């Protein structure tokens, strides 16, 4: 019997069974058909994967190929000593806020050129301006009083001081102090602030007492000419100091937390206190004039003018603290504040620099100090020529290194604040054997492996296995990282440490000498 005659019944039987199975499959519900199809597909995929796994090449992989280069070469050194320098403006000013407050106006933007004295920004200063205005009025009044006084009659001067003090206090109480009070109550005028109850009652009673004092003062005005000038001045000064004490208590209440005192009320209170101070100064000058006669009166008038001028200068200085000015002319490199921001005293609010005049500051070790001199040539970023303009004669107290200033002599695209490589070829020529780098040096990020507990670089031992060297790192600068640990410039390390582990067997592809 031939093979085909034997296979034919088998194929026929398989065909019949297949049709029967397919008919039974089609008779199932749709979801049942889907489940069976998914199972069959999963079995097919598993079988293919198992078949392929049997053909996997189990030949051990060779060690990874690595490239070794010296620290000097990786840091961009070559035959010269390379250090990191910082580009900065020769003339630069960091401006700090002299007082705290809300930014009221910003009058320039980043990148703008401003002249010296330009107002960059201004803080809220309504109260300070009010005090300046009051001081200006007091000064002008003192000047006018001195000009009008020729051969003064000391008795008349005392009488006028008595009357003027009353007028000043009466006007001050009505126009400025009474902005803090409302209608009458059983103890006195109703205080519009919100201090504790005892303080509110005391201030209401004190305002009523002050008003009674002013009424008595007013009734005594017609008899001024018949009274002793010394007595008049004493009485006026006592009354004025009583009002001054009252205003001090009112100011303490107004400046309490949640007192709800308005800006207008606080400005009025400042004006009232300035008026009282001016009245006391006038009374003091009148007393001095009465005691020393005509000459003393003139001296007292001069003293009043000088005192008023001092108050004016002090008020102007306080106002100036709210203004941010450029101390030098230049370009605005830093301006983080915006209108509405609140800044505290000594906050860095702006930087102005002359970006057209740049220099590079580099720090070298103490051992290299004698090998450098002003006028020596350097290379910046392996592209620009530079010259050393100055070398510090002593160690920097912070870095404990020597500060060197370098000027770029050729055209460059350096930016203020940029970190750059500075090569000292003359320094390398003077040294027979390069010492270990005292850092920082810049290595590519790929050459440093960042492990959980430390930072390492790899070198290769005689058995072609990786050896880890722990290093201390600093700032990341672009695609490079600072190495603060001492490393020999001739130490050969792996250029790309990614994916490597200590003790791993490797092949050295090339060795750069």
Residue 65 is assigned to a structural domain of this protein? no
d(CA 303, CA 291): 15
Segment (H or E) for 405: strand 402-408
Residue 310 is assigned to a structural domain of this protein? yes
Confidence class of residue 297 from pLDDT cuts 50, 70 and 90?
Answer: low
Distances in Å between the Cα of 41 and the Cα atoms of 37, 46, 493 are: 6, 9, 52
Whether the CA torsion 258, 259, 262, 267 is positive or negative: it is negative
Residues 131 and 110 in one domain: no
Confidence class of residue 59 from pLDDT cuts 50, 70 and 90?
Answer: very low
Residues 284 and 166 in one domain: yes
CATH number at residue 412: 2.40.30.170
Residues 301 and 223 in one domain: yes
Residues 400 and 458 in one domain: no
pLDDT above 90 covers a percentage of the chain that reads 20
For residue 468 the two structure tokens come to 């880890």
Residues 418 and 278 in one domain: no
d(CA 52, CA 58): 13
Domain of 472? 70-75+439-511
pLDDT tens digit sequence for 13-44: 777 777 777 777 777 777 777 777 777 777 87
466: pLDDT strictly greater than 50? yes
Write down the residue that tokens 């750059």 correspond to.
420
Residues 152 and 290 in one domain: yes
CA 451 to chain centroid: 33
d(CA 100, CA 299): 40
pLDDT tens digit sequence for 484-512: 888 888 888 888 888 888 888 888 875 44
Residues 310 and 195 in one domain: yes
150: pLDDT strictly greater than 50? no
Mean of the per-residue pLDDT values of the chain: 81
Residues 117 and 187 in one domain: no
Residue 304 · residue 310 · CB < 8 Å: no
- Against a cut of 0.75, is the pTM above it? no
Final residue before a domain boundary, out of 320, 340, 367: 320
Q: What is the DSSP string of 303-315?
A: HHHHHHHHHHHHH
Q: In the predicted model, what is the mean pLDDT of residues 303-329? A: 90
Residues 130 and 120 in one domain: no
Strands in 330-334's sheet, in edge-to-edge order, are 92-96, 348-353, 330-334, 113-114
Residue 274 is assigned to a structural domain of this protein? yes
Report the pLDDT value the prediction gives residue 145, as an integer from 0 to 100: 80
Residue 42 is assigned to a structural domain of this protein? yes
pLDDT tens digit sequence for 350-399: 999 887 778 888 888 777 777 778 888 888 877 788 888 888 888 888 77
Query: Lowest mean pLDDT: which of 52-56, 214-218, 333-337?
Result: 52-56
CATH number at residue 337: 2.40.50.100
Query: Lowest mean pLDDT: which of 112-121, 193-202, 261-270, 309-318?
Result: 193-202
* Non-local CB neighbours of 207 within 8 Å, separated by 6+ positions: 177, 181, 188, 189, 191, 246
pLDDT above 70 covers a percentage of the chain that reads 86
Q: What's the burial of 224, exposed, middle or buried (CB within 10 Å: 0-12/13-18/19+)? A: middle
Report the pLDDT value the prediction gives residue 332, as an integer from 0 to 100: 93
Residue 266 is assigned to a structural domain of this protein? yes
Q: What is the DSSP letter of 341?
A: -
Residues 199 and 336 in one domain: no
Number of structural domains the chain divides into: 5
CATH number at residue 478: 2.40.420.20
């Amino acid at each position: 019997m031939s093979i085909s005659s034997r296979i034919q019944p088998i194929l026929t039987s398989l065909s019949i069974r297949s049709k029967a199975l397919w008919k039974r499959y089609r008779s199932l519900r749709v979801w049942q058909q889907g489940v069976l199809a998914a199972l069959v597909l999963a079995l097919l995929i598993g079988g293919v994967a198992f078949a392929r796994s049997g053909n996997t090449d189990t030949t051990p992989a060779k060690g990874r190929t690595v490239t070794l280069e010296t620290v000097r070469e990786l840091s961009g050194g070559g035959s010269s000593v390379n250090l990191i320098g910082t580009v900065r403006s020769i003339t630069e000013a960091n401006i700090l806020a002299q007082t705290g407050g809300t930014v009221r106006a910003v009058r320039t933007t980043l990148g703008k050129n401003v002249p010296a004295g330009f107002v960059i920004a201004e803080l809220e200063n309504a109260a300070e301006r009010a005090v300046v205005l009051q001081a200006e009025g007091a000064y002008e009044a003192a000047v006018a009083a001195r000009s009008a006084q020729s051969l003064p009659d000391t008795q008349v001067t005392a009488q006028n001081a008595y009357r003027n003090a009353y007028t000043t206090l009466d006007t001050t109480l009505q126009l400025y102090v009474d902005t803090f009070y409302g209608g009458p109550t059983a103890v006195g005028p109703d205080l519009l602030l919100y201090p504790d109850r005892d303080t509110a009652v005391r201030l209401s009673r004190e305002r009523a007492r002050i008003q009674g004092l002013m009424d008595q003062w007013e009734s005594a005005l017609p008899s001024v000419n018949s009274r002793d000038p010394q007595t008049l001045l004493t009485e006026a000064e006592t009354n004025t100091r009583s009002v001054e004490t009252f205003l001090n208590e009112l100011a303490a209440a107004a400046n309490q937390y949640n007192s709800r005192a308005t800006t207008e009320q606080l400005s009025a209170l400042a004006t009232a206190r300035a008026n009282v101070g001016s009245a006391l100064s006038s009374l003091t000058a009148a007393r001095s004039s009465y005691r020393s006669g005509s000459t003393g009166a003139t001296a007292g008038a001069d003293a009043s003018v000088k005192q008023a001028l001092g108050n004016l200068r002090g008020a102007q200085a306080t106002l100036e603290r709210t203004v941010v000015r450029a101390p030098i002319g230049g370009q605005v490199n830093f301006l983080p504040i915006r209108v509405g921001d609140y800044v505290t005293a000594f906050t860095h609010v702006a930087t102005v620099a002359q970006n057209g005049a740049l220099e590079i500051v580099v720090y070298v070790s103490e051992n290299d100090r004698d090998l450098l001199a002003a006028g020596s040539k350097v290379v910046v970023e392996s592209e620009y020529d530079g010259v050393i303009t100055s070398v510090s004669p002593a160690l920097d107290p912070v870095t404990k290194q020597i500060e060197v200033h370098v000027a770029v002599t050729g055209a460059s695209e350096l930016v203020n604040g940029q970190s750059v490589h500075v090569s000292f070829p003359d320094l390398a020529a003077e040294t027979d054997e390069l010492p270990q780098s005292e850092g920082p040096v810049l290595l590519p990020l790929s050459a440093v492996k960042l492990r959980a507990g430390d930072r390492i670089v790899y070198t290769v031992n005689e058995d072609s296995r990786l050896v880890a060297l722990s290093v201390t790192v600093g700032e990341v600068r672009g695609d490079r990282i600072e190495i603060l640990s001492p490393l020999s410039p001739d130490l050969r390390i792996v250029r790309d440490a990614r994916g490597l582990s200590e003790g791993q067997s490797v092949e050295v592809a090339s060795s750069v000498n």
